[in-house]
Every structure is written in structure tokens, then in C-alpha cells.
């Protein structure tokens, strides 16, 4: 079942012409070794890149569980691709990798099937001058008299004072009517959290746990305007050829051989729940309990089906990736009790069978969280899988 949150037809996306500055007919093996050595340097661990808040403010539009750090995305795009190339992320989440590709002079293409993730990604490429956003917000004449909250479940209403919730609903509907996707991303980014700029009672910024305080009235307009201003704090080019696509990595709407390289952090192997963790934001996008249950079945996150579904992804990636094109996956291990599944190794086996050449799996060790009690501490690492399309 294809979800279609903006009523677009499902069609092939025609990518723009580009001038590629990469290796043409050269020694791919030598180039791959150079890339592997650069990745092993893990420069995203050095100052100033190791800082949690590194990168353009646009990256902070919306929180997302398990997202790749912008600094890591920056270095992978920088070392693995060339200016003018098309860089695809088939599991783009909130668009971290395609946005860094865009900033680095590549054409970033992000695909995601989660409506919240897609909404944030699309917002980052729906660029206008900040003045146009502010003028549109100032033109709003808030009238919540006709909004009936009885249709909204307690699971939503417990986070908000009634008038705040009515304002959110009114503004959201105006945003969708006028297709102000950048503003939709900004609104979703302040829907819940623990800071004064967030609209909910105090709760987690990433996952909406039961609120710790009673909701109080929070005027939406000034908070939305402040959010917009923060997004423009570091500046960015208004013009872009990059884009986000609401789609499925098992059915990519791109032409054969149209992608120069792939960088992605695929869904974790039965570790994260991308629907439940974003349940409140999905409610504002029209996803009630039934729709969320359908979405859960569509996403790739269940352990029994994970490798079979990732195989389907691999076949599509092989189709859209040019011959000899590089594919880089950042993958987390699966821990069940004392048993550890090396996800990168498992995927490398099935991708080799369909024609990818596996070059290396690089360990990227994560710092141990000091807040976790000692008895639960364990080494956490991601593995970076380096592949090329074709055996040669």
C-alpha cells in the first residue's frame, strides 16, 4: 500500500543534468583504497566535528531517533563523492545526508517512507527568503472557533492546553492548503519537547513520553517565527537541485543507472521503532492508530523479514546505481541478550550474491554513555560497509 501524503502520482523522477568531476574510466580499486583510508581516519571524531551541535542550523529542524550525525554525513559525502554527482540516500530520515550533499555541491536525493521523516526532509529543500515566510505567518488571521477537539484522542490532547492545540491545528491546515512545506517542517519541529519554544507540556524532544507537567497555554505564532529564524541562523543557498522523495527504497522512482553513488544509514535491525517513536508528530500528519499500524508493516524494521526486505532494496539500488558506483552503508549491530548480530556482515553476504563487490567493513566505535549504569555498559559500534556495483 503506497501512502501519498501530498496527492502526487507515483512516477519516475527525472533528475537534472549535472557535470561530474569524478574518476572517469580510471583505477576504481586505487580510488576505493583511498576512500577506505579516509573513512578509517574518522575525522568526524575530531574537533570541531565531534561537537553535538556541529553543522548548519537547518539540520536541527526536527528530531529523529537514530539519525546520523551531520559531521559524519559531511565527511562521508566529502570523501566518497565529487562535486556535481548525484548522491542518493534511500533511507534519508530527516535528510541529513542529502542536505550535506547539497551543501557540498552535490545533488542530494533523499527517499523515505515515513511521512514525518519525509516532511522534515522536504522542508529543508523548500527554500525561500526568510521574509516570505514571515509575511505569510503575519498574514494569518487565527480563528479557532470552528475547531472541534473531540475528534482528537487523549493520547494527543494530554500534551496540550486546548487553545494551544486549536492554534496548532488551524495553522497546520493553512500550511497544508498553501503548500508551505518549510513551515510545516518548522511546526513539526516544535510540536513537542522540553524547552520554552516547544508547544507541548514538558516531554522528551525525540520520543513523546507522558508529559511531566500539566499543559499550559503557549501561543503558537511567536514560537513558530522564532523557529524559522533559528533555521536561517547559519544561512544557506536558496537555489538547490536536491530534493526529498516520499517513497519506498524497494521501489525507487529513478531511472536505471541515474545515481553516481549511495550513502545511507538503513533502518536498524529490530532495534528502533520509527513509528511509535514519532507517534505524536504522525498524528498531526493524519496518521491515527490504524494508519500507524499499516505504516509499521510497510517499514523495514521487523527482525524476521529484515534481510529479505533489505535484499529487495539491494536489487533496486543495483538498478539505479551506475556501473562501478560506490555504495556506503552505516549499520548498527543487533544485540539480543548476549548474542550479537553483525548486520553489516549479513547484508554484505546477500548483496555480494546479487552483484555487489564488497570492499571492506570498517568499525566505528561509539563513546560509552556515562549515564548508563555500569552493569548495562557495553561497547557500541556502527559498521561502515563499503561496496561497489559490479564484481570488477
Bridge partners (DSSP) of residue 243 are: 109
Q: What is the pLDDT of residue 376?
A: 43
Q: Regarding the domain delimited by 28-124+239-389, which CATH topology (the fold level of the hierarchy) does it fall under?
A: Rossmann fold (3.40.50)
Distance between CA 344 and CA 59 in Å, rounded?
26
Condensed to tens digits (0 to 9), the pLDDT of residues 87-121 reads 999 999 999 999 999 999 999 999 999 999 999 99
Nearest residue to 101 (alpha-carbon basis) of 246, 265, 256, 240: 240
* Number of helices followed by number of strands (H, E) in the chain: 13, 9
**Cβ atoms < 10 Å from Cβ of 65:** 15
CB under 8 Å to 40, separation ≥6 — which residues? Answer: 362
Query: Torsion over CA of 282, 288, 289 and 291, rounded to 10 degrees?
Result: -80
pLDDT tens digits, 211-226: 989 999 999 999 999 9
CB distance 172 to 184 below 8 Å: yes
pLDDT tens string 28-59: 788 999 999 999 999 999 999 998 889 999 99
27, 137, 304 from 392: Cα distances, Å? 11, 55, 32
* Distance, CA of 167 to CA of 76 (rounded, Å): 41
pLDDT of residue 9: 36
> pLDDT higher for 304 or 389?
389
Answering whether pTM is above 0.95, one says no
Domain ranges for the chain: 28-124+239-389, 130-231
Confidence tier at 371 by pLDDT (50, 70, 90): very low
Residue 180: which residues within 8 A CB-CB, separation 6 or more? 126, 133, 136, 174
Decide: 64 and 112 in contact? Cβ < 8 Å.
no
Is the four-CA dihedral 114, 117, 120, 125 of positive or negative sign? negative
Chain centroid to CA 206: 13
Per-residue pLDDT tens digits for 331-367: 988 877 778 889 999 999 999 999 999 999 999 876 5
Looking at residue 1, its pLDDT comes to 35
In the chain, at which residue ranges do the beta strands (DSSP E only) sit? 86-89, 107-112, 243-246, 259-264, 321-332, 334-336, 339-341, 356-366, 380-389
Q: pLDDT tens across 302-323, in order?
A: 778 899 999 999 999 999 999 9
3-state SS class at 251? strand
DSSP state at residue 98: H
Nearest to 324 by CA among 107, 26, 46, 64: 26
Amino acid at each position: 500500500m503506497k501512502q501519498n501524503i501530498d496527492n502526487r502520482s507515483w512516477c519516475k523522477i527525472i533528475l537534472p543534468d549535472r557535470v561530474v568531476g569524478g574518476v572517469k574510466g580510471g583505477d576504481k580499486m586505487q580510488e576505493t583504497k583511498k576512500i577506505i583510508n579516509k573513512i578509517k581516519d574518522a575525522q568526524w571524531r575530531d574537533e570541531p566535528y565531534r561537537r553535538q551541535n556541529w553543522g548548519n542550523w537547518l539540520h536541527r529542524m526536527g528530531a529523529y531517533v537514530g539519525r546520523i550525525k551531520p559531521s559524519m554525513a559531511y565527511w562521508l559525502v566529502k570523501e566518497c563523492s565529487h562535486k556535481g554527482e548525484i548522491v542518493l540516500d534511500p533511507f534519508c530520515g530527516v535528510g541529513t545526508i542529502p542536505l550535506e550533499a547539497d551543501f557540498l555541491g552535490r545533488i542530494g536525493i533523499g527517499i523515505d517512507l515515513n511521512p514525518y521523516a519525509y516532511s522534515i526532509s522536504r522542508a529543508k529543500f523548500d527554500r525561500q527568503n526568510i521574509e516570505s515566510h514571515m509575511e505569510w505567518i503575519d498574514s494569518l488571521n487565527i480563528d479557532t472557533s470552528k475547531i472541534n477537539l473531540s475528534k482528537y484522542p487523549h493520547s494527543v490532547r494530554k500534551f496540550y492546553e486546548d487553545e494551544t492545540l486549536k492554534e496548532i491545528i488551524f495553522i497546520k491546515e493553512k500550511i497544508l492548503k498553501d503548500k508551505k512545506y518549510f513551515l510545516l517542517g518548522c511546526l513539526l519541529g516544535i510540536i513537542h519537547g522540553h524547552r520554552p519554544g516547544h508547544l507541548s507540556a514538558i516531554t522528551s524532544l525525540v520520543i513523546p513520553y507522558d508529559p511531566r507537567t500539566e499543559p499550559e497555554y503557549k501561543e503558537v505564532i511567536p514560537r513558530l517565527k522564532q523557529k524559522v529564524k533559528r533555521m536561517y541562523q547559519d544561512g544557506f543557498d536558496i537555489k538547490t537541485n536536491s530534493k526529498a522523495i516520499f517513497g519506498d527504497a524497494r521501489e525507487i522512482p529513478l531511472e536505471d543507472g541515474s545515481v553516481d553513488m549511495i550513502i545511507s544509514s538503513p533502518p536498524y535491525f529490530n532495534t528502533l521503532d520509527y513509528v511509535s517513536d514519532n507517534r505524536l508528530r504522525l498524528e498531526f500528519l493524519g496518521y491515527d492508530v490504524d494508519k500507524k499500524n499499516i505504516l509499521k508493516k510497510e517499514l523495514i524494521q521487523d527482525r524476521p523479514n529484515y534481510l529479505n526486505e533489505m535484499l529487495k532494496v539491494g536489487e533496486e539500488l543495483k538498478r539505479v546505481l551506475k556501473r562501478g558506483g560506490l555504495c556506503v552503508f552505516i549499520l548498527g549491530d543487533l544485540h539480543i541478550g548476549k548474542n550479537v548480530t553483525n548486520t553489516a556482515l549479513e547484508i554484505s553476504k546477500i548483496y555480494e550474491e546479487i552483484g555487489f563487490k564488497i570492499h571492506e567493513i570498517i568499525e566505528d566505535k561509539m563513546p560509552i554513555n556515562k549515564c548508563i549504569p555500569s552493569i548495562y555498559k557495553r561497547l557500541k559500534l556502527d559498521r561502515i560497509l563499503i561496496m561497489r556495483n559490479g564484481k570488477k
